[in-house]
Structure 1
């Protein structure tokens, strides 16, 4: 009798653990889908990407909400810029030798000055940080948070065996049979399942343009945090409407306004400012670089992240 009771109790514990795992995976469906994109579509190493996802989850717990969802909405080449920056940050944190080896090859990107400044990551943070040196100054605190998320979330949610289990349970449920006991247990477990809305359809004004996904912000950032500083070749300015039309055609309806220098009489403007609808579009337009160069109606335009100045600019 005792053997039967112990076996029943063990089975209940296994079912409860399985239900908790399924609940956790359903809660993190967006993160799982993005992880699979990183590995399958963008060719990244799964072991390293678990740590990258742990770092991004930590950023969200630190107040930078929807960070992963916003990165996931970006084109592949820009996403890889975010990955390079995440790996550079992780290289500053203390880890066991085996964990360091998982990121050793990718951490070579830390030698790139542009990566160390974290231009892409900072574009999505509520308050920018001082590059990878921030992780040097707070390494123990950050590693504790990142390590906890890696252990309790990423090793479970991004585990191939767990994914296989989830897919099979979902398939059996969709075939029309009775609800599996594991799902019934999950429904009554303390794990809260957050509803995940479907992603908005991409807007495409130009069939050759990259897809643009509007990033919803309940409280839009001030213009200074979602602006680009632009310059023209001297004597060859570009009209505001032409700049807006070009960027909206290339990246979707991402531009809120364009301002151009109010030049003195007899002079031509040489600089301006583009205000984007979302800070998330900054690394997209700049292609993850510090500066970008465009050719609009035969004239050159240079763009970089806007840095507010104590001296007010004179715009028309």
Structure 2
């Protein structure tokens, strides 16, 4: 079997992209929408398919409710204090056929955060790339025109889409654009000066 191309990956994740665009169309920030869809992609790997149901939701009230619930889950994943005072997520629970609740995310947050990072740094680089989807849509429109007999022949696959997908390819980053997340224990307070000293030595 031939290795998948970028076009294959984009086609496979079209439904994920549709949910991403739905969230953005309803006012969700780009980064939050990426994280939300990555979360649903991670859940799908566990066998909890919510994406295929979410893409079918057309009621704006339900979409906004889902956005609020996803925001609660992402907030839960960002918290370090182990608090369990989170808003319940009834719509997500029903979409998952009652197989998860907010406590699931709170209990498994370390595994989930690593899973989200893996998706965002891997296939997410392509799934959330607007330029790649523009290329795919233009190519698919040309293919549809060729099949309808409106053009002389099948168009060639654009170079950006024909490339073999390499999940291990590193994302180029300049040193100044890197981020680091640091957590500190409340039981062992640390002064600001000690932090600055550690990173400037």
Q: Classify the TM-score, shorter chain.
A: 0.5 to 0.7
Deviation of residue 168 (structure 1)? 2.0
Aligned position for 2:117: 147
Deviations 1:228-275 (A, max 9, x none): xxxxxxxxxxxxxxxxxxxxxxxxxxxxxxxxxxxxxxxxxxxxxxxx
Normalised by the length of structure 2, the TM-score is: 0.64
SS in 2 for 1:64: coil
Number of residue pairs aligned between Structure 1 and Structure 2: 153
Give the strand-richer structure, 1 or 2. Answer: 1
Report runs of 4+ in structure 1 exceeding 6 Å deviation.
Answer: none
Question: Contact 2:28–2:67 (CA<8 Å) still a contact in 1?
Answer: no
Question: Contact 1:50–1:155 (CA<8 Å) still a contact in 2?
Answer: no
Aligned position for 2:154: 179
Normalised by the length of structure 1, the TM-score is: 0.42
Deviation of residue 137 (structure 1)? 1.8
Q: Distance in 1 between matches of 2:77 and 2:165?
A: 33
Q: Which residue among 18, 32, 39 is the counterpart of 1:33?
A: 18
Give the helix-richer structure, 1 or 2. Answer: 2
Of structures 1 and 2, the one with the larger relative CO (CA 8 A, separation 6+) is 2
Aligned position for 2:55: 72
Give the structure with higher Rg (CA). 1
Aligned position for 1:129: 100
Please show how residues 230-249 of structure 1 align to structure 2 within 5 Å. none
Deviations 1:184-230 (A, max 9, x none): 9x79x799xxxxxxxxxxxxxxxxxxxxxxxxxxxxxxxxxxxxxxx
Q: Distance in 2 between matches of 1:71 and 1:56?
A: 10
Please show how residues 1-80 of structure 1 align to structure 2 within 5 Å. 20-40=5-25, 42-65=26-49, 67-74=50-57, 75-80=59-64
Q: Distance in 2 between matches of 1:59 and 1:116?
A: 19
Mind listing any 5+ residue stretches in structure 2 that lack a counterpart?
80-84, 147-151, 167-201
